[in-house]
Amino acid sequence: MSFGDPNNPYGQPQGQQPGYGQPQGQQPGYGYPQQAPQGVPPQQYGYPQAPPVQPYGVGGYPQGPQKMPGLMTAARVIMFVLAGLQIIIGIIAGIGIAAASSAVDDSDAATGLAGLGFAVVALLLAFAGLAIFLAVKFATGGTAIRVITIIYASLMLIGGLGNFASGEATGVPGGIISLALGGIILASMVNKQASEWFNRPRNQY
Q: What is the pLDDT of residues 84-137, one digit of tens each?
A: 999 999 999 888 888 887 776 666 666 777 788 888 899 999 999 999 999 999
d(CA 121, CA 108): 20
d(CA 126, CA 145): 16
What pTM does this model have? 0.64
DSSP type of residue 201:
-
d(CA 152, CA 163): 17
DSSP type of residue 202:
G
Q: Which residues of the chain have pLDDT under 50?
A: 19-20, 54-61, 204-205
The predicted structure's pLDDT at residue 128 = 94
Nearest Cα residue to 150 out of 119, 95, 187, 98: 187
Measure Cα distances from 180 to 127, 166, 169, 174, 200 in Å.
18, 18, 18, 10, 29
The predicted structure's pLDDT at residue 153 = 95
Q: Please say whether the beta carbons of 193 and 75 come within 8 A.
A: no
The predicted structure's pLDDT at residue 205 = 38
Q: Please say whether the beta carbons of 114 and 101 come within 8 A.
A: yes
The predicted structure's pLDDT at residue 135 = 95
The predicted structure's pLDDT at residue 60 = 45
Count of residues making up the chain: 205
Q: Which residues of 1-13 are buried (b: 16+ CB within 10 A; e: fewer)?
A: eeeeeeeeeeeee
Q: Which residues of 81-116 are buried (b: 16+ CB within 10 A; e: fewer)?
A: ebbeebbeebeebbeebeeebeeeeeeeeeeeebee
